[in-house]
């Protein structure tokens, strides 16, 4: 090892050790290791793999078309690409060095599909008026070949030219009919039980058969040249948007859309994302381009009937599929402006990411390769070599509070350069710092690290540029230390809420009435009193608590719970058996010291708002006197307000009654109540029970005689 290499290794070890030591003081880390964590960011010429790796992407060049969207495309034998657009029904041609030119304008809103026939004849299908037109690519003149369905209602979704039979196939809606057009004559060959036939693929086996994808139940059909049909596979989805045949296998783009239940009971193969991501199929009444929310998947169907899901997109529907000669698959996202590359080992890359939100057309068959977009009609032409620039810009990271940012640590290879900017607004503006490089960058093999130079700020954004075709970033970790936030106690309570007065009649001398009622159920008296508290802990630190109580008139707080602070608990059982009666307050002190060094730890405290009455003494019943049928006496307690009076004759049920003034609101009450008039002559015993707010109960009784 050379001295220079040794010095670099020592510096790297020092940086890593420093980062580890800081973890004990609340250091946190933000890790980027998966496709999902990278995929939501902004990219320019960067490939994002399903393994969570970034690398230099493919080059492309944008051409604005000044149309709302590019809906369809086809490549002619001479390499010219024809493009169907909306919403003015225009057809354009792109021919490499000859550039882009408009060749025709049709009196229809959308050119939904294109096909190339014999001798370069261009055919197009329309939406809303159900026409198939023949267009002269040179002059731009056109004529109607067929009217399929009622004008104003019909849709021609897909055209496919069969060179063997010299037949132009047309898939339509809203009745799901398949037409064969020969010598200018359209003949209905097959009528499905579905509403829309969205995708067609002429079978490569020379049989004259056609593969058809539907747009209601997402069924894959094979229709023979004589109109006989069978379902090859059924999906629990809403549509088969595209079909591509390669070596006898079919590659299929299947979509589900939000806003409805599973079609027809949800039978068939579902798009899956693993056990933790359930599939929720939804139903779309009219298949069309636009801003529909949904999810899609690419499947391979083999002639033996085997079906294999190759890729699933959880947040976008898929508008197209293409298979290269080497078996790699391109899938166009109809709702996200992305193109996905699926390798033969099933590693998935976000190969292109365009500012337009829809990739609706994809032409990769000829010498010129391009994508057509919606949400702003543009062409993106593929070019040789890696993209320039090739930059990945992460989403703005919100640390929630003012934060000290430390090291950035990554695994990668080749020439990669990081830059950082910081600020205190959620969206970068002129108050942010400019982009700046990391300090003290050290690399040891594939591991690199560098420090972020920034004051305490809330927001940070990083980006990485790739300086070579083989440069790759595999994962990255950002270390940071948030400003410590004060834990705040919001409530401290002692015991449960005081029980209400027991229900009962109202009685007394003078013949007051009141129907007998059962005495209220009372919780058992316990000397354990529950103290509870609530706390706001905005930065998620581990907290400890110290608990104190004092009698309301006593200035000295007495500790509870032992000498060591309680950690994690938010309640305490206070044993009051040996505590004098009185009104007590509780105080809680909270600290985040378990998560912070002493010089950074913060404490706060709170006292219970309502004094708690601690009363172990029983109330008394005195001065009992019976002058049948009237019973009178007095109940009193030393501390607590009385809450109940009830009598029981000869051990019978307790009958509640009110004091003489009709309300339980003090520690002493007189009472007078009329006993039942129908007691049998002879000697009887009446017991009087009273209870206080502290659930203490006192009882007294007296014997009296009825009659002589």
Using the 3D structure, point to which of 428, 452, 482 is the last residue of a domain: 482
The reply to whether 350 falls in a domain is no
The reply to whether 240 falls in a domain is yes
Q: Are residues 606 and 682 in the same domain?
A: no
Band of residue 291 on the pLDDT scale cut at 50, 70, 90? low
Unique residue bearing structure tokens 């939804």:
282
Express as a percent the part of the chain with pLDDT over 90.
Answer: 67
Q: Are residues 700 and 570 in the same domain?
A: no
Whole-angstrom Cα distance, residue 176 to residue 221?
Answer: 12
Exposure string over 341-380, b if 16+ CB within 10 A, otherwise e? bbeeeeebbbbbbbebbbbbbbbbebebbbbbbbbbbbbb
Band of residue 520 on the pLDDT scale cut at 50, 70, 90? very low
Residue 46 is predicted with a pLDDT of 86
The residue with greater pLDDT, 153 or 481, is 481
Phi, psi dihedral angles at 73 (to 5 degrees)? -160, 160
For residue 269, give the DSSP letter: B
Band of residue 523 on the pLDDT scale cut at 50, 70, 90? low
CATH number at residue 670: 2.60.40.10
Query: Do the beta carbons of residue 269 and residue 306 sit within 8 Å?
Result: no
Q: Does the pLDDT value for residue 260 go beyond 70?
A: no
Q: Summarize pLDDT for 604-643 with one digit per residue, the tens.
A: 999 999 999 888 899 999 999 999 999 999 999 988 899 9
Q: Does the pLDDT value for residue 449 go beyond 50?
A: yes
**Pairing mode, if any, of strands 439-444 and 488-494?**
unpaired
Q: Are residues 113 and 147 in the same domain?
A: yes
CATH number at residue 9: 2.60.120
Residue 521 is predicted with a pLDDT of 52
Q: Does the pLDDT value for residue 261 go beyond 70?
A: no
If we measure between CA atoms, which residue out of 76, 75, 78, 110 comes closest to residue 91?
A: 110
Mean pLDDT of 477-501: 81
If we measure between CA atoms, which residue out of 12, 14, 138, 24 comes closest to residue 76?
A: 138
Q: Summarize pLDDT for 650-696 with one digit per residue, the tens.
A: 999 999 999 999 999 999 999 999 999 999 999 999 999 999 988 88
Contacts of 397 (CB under 8 A, 6+ apart): 30, 459, 460, 461, 462, 478
Residue 495 is predicted with a pLDDT of 87
For residue 659, give the DSSP letter: -
Query: Do the beta carbons of residue 335 and residue 318 sit within 8 Å?
Result: no
Q: Are residues 542 and 436 in the same domain?
A: no
Q: Does the pLDDT value for residue 24 go beyond 80?
A: no
Whole-angstrom Cα distance, residue 480 to residue 432?
Answer: 18
Residue 574 tokens read as 């206070």
If we measure between CA atoms, which residue out of 490, 496, 563 comes closest to residue 531?
A: 496
Q: Across the chain, which distance is largest between two alpha carbons, in Å?
A: 132
Residue 664 tokens read as 């339980």
Using the 3D structure, point to which of 614, 636, 662 is the last residue of a domain: 614
Q: Are residues 690 and 597 in the same domain?
A: no
Q: Does the pLDDT value for residue 216 go beyond 50?
A: yes
The reply to whether 114 falls in a domain is yes
Mean pLDDT of 103-127: 93
Task: Give residue 610's domain range.
Answer: 488-498+522-614
Band of residue 280 on the pLDDT scale cut at 50, 70, 90? very low
If we measure between CA atoms, which residue out of 368, 365, 369, 366 comes closest to residue 352?
A: 369
Helix (H, G, I), strand (E, B) or coil at 4: helix
Altogether, the residues listed in the chain come to a count of: 708
For residue 186, give the DSSP letter: E
Band of residue 175 on the pLDDT scale cut at 50, 70, 90? very high
Q: Are residues 98 and 170 in the same domain?
A: yes
Between the alpha carbon of residue 678 and those of residues 377, 524, 565, 686, the distances in Å are 98, 34, 64, 15
Residue 522 is predicted with a pLDDT of 55
Q: Are residues 596 and 628 in the same domain?
A: no
Band of residue 118 on the pLDDT scale cut at 50, 70, 90? confident
Lowest mean pLDDT among 148-157, 186-195, 198-207: 148-157
Mean pLDDT of 115-120: 90
CATH number at residue 108: 2.120.10.30
Query: Do the beta carbons of residue 293 and residue 309 sit within 8 Å?
Result: no
Band of residue 105 on the pLDDT scale cut at 50, 70, 90? very high
If we measure between CA atoms, which residue out of 533, 537, 519 comes closest to residue 644?
A: 519
The reply to whether 286 falls in a domain is no
Q: Are residues 202 and 306 in the same domain?
A: yes
Q: Are residues 90 and 219 in the same domain?
A: yes
Lowest mean pLDDT among 78-87, 248-257, 272-281, 457-466: 272-281
Residue 695 is predicted with a pLDDT of 85
Express as a percent the part of the chain with pLDDT over 70.
Answer: 88
Residue-averaged pLDDT of the chain: 86
Whole-angstrom Cα distance, residue 305 to residue 606?
Answer: 70
The reply to whether 651 falls in a domain is yes
Q: Summarize pLDDT for 125-137 with one digit per residue, the tens.
A: 999 889 999 999 9
Q: Residues 186, 189, 190, CA angle at the centre, nearest 5°?
A: 135
Q: Are residues 89 and 167 in the same domain?
A: yes
Q: Are residues 224 and 96 in the same domain?
A: yes
The reply to whether 363 falls in a domain is no
Q: Does the pLDDT value for residue 386 go beyond 90?
A: no
The reply to whether 324 falls in a domain is no
Whole-angstrom Cα distance, residue 374 to residue 382?
Answer: 18
Q: How many CB atoms lie within 10 A of CB 550?
A: 16
β-partners of residue 567 are: 544
Using the 3D structure, point to which of 566, 583, 614 is the last residue of a domain: 614
Helix (H, G, I), strand (E, B) or coil at 360: strand
Residue 184 is predicted with a pLDDT of 85
Query: For residues 631, 637, 642 and 647, what is the CA-based torsion angle, rounded to 10 degrees?
Result: -30
Q: Are residues 580 and 607 in the same domain?
A: yes
- How many structural domains does the chain have? 4
Band of residue 34 on the pLDDT scale cut at 50, 70, 90? confident
Query: Do the beta carbons of residue 245 and residue 203 sit within 8 Å?
Result: yes
Query: Do the beta carbons of residue 578 and residue 658 sit within 8 Å?
Result: no
Between the alpha carbon of residue 376 and those of residues 92, 95, 157, 226, 331, the distances in Å are 15, 21, 21, 42, 20
Q: Summarize pLDDT for 419-436 with one digit per residue, the tens.
A: 999 999 999 999 999 999
Unique residue bearing structure tokens 């001479």:
78
Q: Does the pLDDT value for residue 388 go beyond 70?
A: yes
Whole-angstrom Cα distance, residue 15 to residue 244?
Answer: 53
Q: Summarize pLDDT for 320-337 with one digit per residue, the tens.
A: 999 999 999 999 999 888
Exposure string over 430-442, b if 16+ CB within 10 A, otherwise e? eebeeeeebeebb
As to burial, measured by CB atoms within 10 angstroms (0-12 exposed, 13-18 middle, 19+ buried), residue 165 is middle
Lowest mean pLDDT among 48-62, 361-375, 389-403, 627-641: 48-62
Phi, psi dihedral angles at 208 (to 5 degrees)? 80, 5
The residue with greater pLDDT, 637 or 8, is 637
Mean pLDDT of 38-47: 78
The reply to whether 287 falls in a domain is no
The distance of Cα 182 from the centroid of its chain, to the nearest Å, equals 52
């Amino acid at each position: 090892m050379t001295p220079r290499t040794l010095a670099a290794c020592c510096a790297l070890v020092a940086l890593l050790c420093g980062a580890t030591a800081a973890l004990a003081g609340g250091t946190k880390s933000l890790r980027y290791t998966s496709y999902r964590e990278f995929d939501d960011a902004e990219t320019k010429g960067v490939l994002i793999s399903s393994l969570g790796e970034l690398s230099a992407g493919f080059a492309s060049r944008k051409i604005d078309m000044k149309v709302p969207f590019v809906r369809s495309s086809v490549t002619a034998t001479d390499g010219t690409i024809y493009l169907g657009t909306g919403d003015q029904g225009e057809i354009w041609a792109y021919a490499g060095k000859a550039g882009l030119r408009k060749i025709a304008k049709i009196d229809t809103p959308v050119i939904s599909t294109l096909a190339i026939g014999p001798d370069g004849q261009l055919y197009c299908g329309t939406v809303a008026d159900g026409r198939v037109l023949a267009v002269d690519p040179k002059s731009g003149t056109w004529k109607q070949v067929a009217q399929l369905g009622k004008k104003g209602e019909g849709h021609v979704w897909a055209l496919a030219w069969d060179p063997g039979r010299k037949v132009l196939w047309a898939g339509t809606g809203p009745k799901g009919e398949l037409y064969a057009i020969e010598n200018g004559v359209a003949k209905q060959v097959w009528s499905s039980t579905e509403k829309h036939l969205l995708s067609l693929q002429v079978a490569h086996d020379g049989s004259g058969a056609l593969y058809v994808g539907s747009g209601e139940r997402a069924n894959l059909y094979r229709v023979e040249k004589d109109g006989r049909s069978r379902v090859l596979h059924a999906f629990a989805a809403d549509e088969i948007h595209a079909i591509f045949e390669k070596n006898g296998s079919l590659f299929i783009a299947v979509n589900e859309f939000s806003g409805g239940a599973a079609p027809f009971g949800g039978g068939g193969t579902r798009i899956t994302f693993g056990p933790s991501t359930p599939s929720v199929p939804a139903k779309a009444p009219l298949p069309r381009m636009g801003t529909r929310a949904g999810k899609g998947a690419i499947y391979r169907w083999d002639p033996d009937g085997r079906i294999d899901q190759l890729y699933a997109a959880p947040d976008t529907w898929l508008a197209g599929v293409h298979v290269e000669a080497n078996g790699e698959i391109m899938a166009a996202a109809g709702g996200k402006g992305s193109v996905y590359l699926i390798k033969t080992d099933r590693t998935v890359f976000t190969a292109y990411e365009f500012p337009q939100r829809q990739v609706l057309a994809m032409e990769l068959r000829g010498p010129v390769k391009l994508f057509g977009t919606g949400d702003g009609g543009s062409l993106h032409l593929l070019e040789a070599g890696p993209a320039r620039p090739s930059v990945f810009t992460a989403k703005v990271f919100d640390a929630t509070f003012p934060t000290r940012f430390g090291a950035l640590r990554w695994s990668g290879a080749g020439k990669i350069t990081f830059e950082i900017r910081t600020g205190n607004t959620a969206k970068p503006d002129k108050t942010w710092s400019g982009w700046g490089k990391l300090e003290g960058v050290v690399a040891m093999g594939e591991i690199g690290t560098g420090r972020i130079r920034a004051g305490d700020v809330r927001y940070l954004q990083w980006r990485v540029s790739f300086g070579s075709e083989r440069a790759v970033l595999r994962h990255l970790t950002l270390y940071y230390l948030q400003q410590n936030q004060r834990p705040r106690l919001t409530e401290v309570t002692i015991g449960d809420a005081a029980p209400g007065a027991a229900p009962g009649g109202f009685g007394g001398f003078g013949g007051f009435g009141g129907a007998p009622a059962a005495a209220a159920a009372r919780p058992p008296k316990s000397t354990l009193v529950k103290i509870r508290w609530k706390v706001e802990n905005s930065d998620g630190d581990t907290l400890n608590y110290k608990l104190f109580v004092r009698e309301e008139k006593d200035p000295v707080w007495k500790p509870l719970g032992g000498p060591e602070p309680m950690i994690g608990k938010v309640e305490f059982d206070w044993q009051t058996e040996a505590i004098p009666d009185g009104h007590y307050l509780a105080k809680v002190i909270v600290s985040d010291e378990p998560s912070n060094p002493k010089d950074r730890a913060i404490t706060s405290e709170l006292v219970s708002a309502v004094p708690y009455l601690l009363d172990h003494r029983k109330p008394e019943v005195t001065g009992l006197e019976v002058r049948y049928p009237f019973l009178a006496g007095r109940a009193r307690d030393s501390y607590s307000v009385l809450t109940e009076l009830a009598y029981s004759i000869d051990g019978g049920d307790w009958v509640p009654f009110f004091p003489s003034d009709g309300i339980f609101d003090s520690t002493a009450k007189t009472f007078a109540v009329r006993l039942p008039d129908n007691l049998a002559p002879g000697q009887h015993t009446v017991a009087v029970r009273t209870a206080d707010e502290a659930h203490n109960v006192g009882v007294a009784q007296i014997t009296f005689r009825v009659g002589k």
